[in-house]
Amino acid sequence: MTDDEIRKFINDLRDKQKFDEAYIGFFQFGGGSEESFIKANRQGLEMHAAELLEAAVTKYNDKSKSYGLDEGIQDIEGDFSFQYVDLKEGKRGEIKPSPDYKETWTDKVFLIGCIAVILIFLSIGVIGLITIAKWIL
């Protein structure tokens, strides 16, 4: 489909009556995200689909861009909600699910500081125990 055909389809999906009747909620059954589900009526699915299609036809200059989902029909009692779509260019094998983390100098300094604080507390504890042992004996 062309972008114009998709936009026409989006306009057909969006309508005031559908918005008033639309319901969609994202829930988690049990302990983990592998047991998540969507509870929705047809109008809610159509409105949500229109938002996702709108994100698909939006043009961006970057390789990655966020598109907000502002349909106003998500259940506030849901376990979680989706606020935006993170659009990526490329094929499935080229897109990484999460960016590689690069350690910065502040991360290294923080680690060294934590180790130093632990060593200081340990040495103070040993000195305290030695002092108490000398006092008792």
> Residue 39: its pLDDT value, please?
80
Provide the CA 96 distance to its chain's centre, in angstroms: 15
Structure tokens at 59: 């043009």
pLDDT the model gives residue 69: 64
Distance CA 45, CA 12 (A): 14
**Pairing state of beta strands 36-40 and 24-28?**
antiparallel
- Do residues 79 and 29 make contact, with C-beta atoms less than 8 angstroms apart? no
pLDDT tens for the chain, residues 1 to 137: 888 888 888 888 877 666 778 777 777 777 766 677 888 888 888 888 888 888 778 766 555 566 666 666 677 677 776 776 777 777 767 777 666 678 889 989 999 999 999 999 999 999 999 999 999 88
| pLDDT reported for residue 121 | 97
pLDDT at 70: 61
Q: Look up the pTM and report it.
A: 0.55
**Closest CA relative to residue 80, chosen from 136, 25, 43, 120:** 25
Amino acid identity at 85? V
Write down the pLDDT at residue 126: 96
In angstroms, rounded to a whole number, what is the distance separating the alpha carbons of residues 50 and 48? 5
Residue-level pLDDT at 8: 85
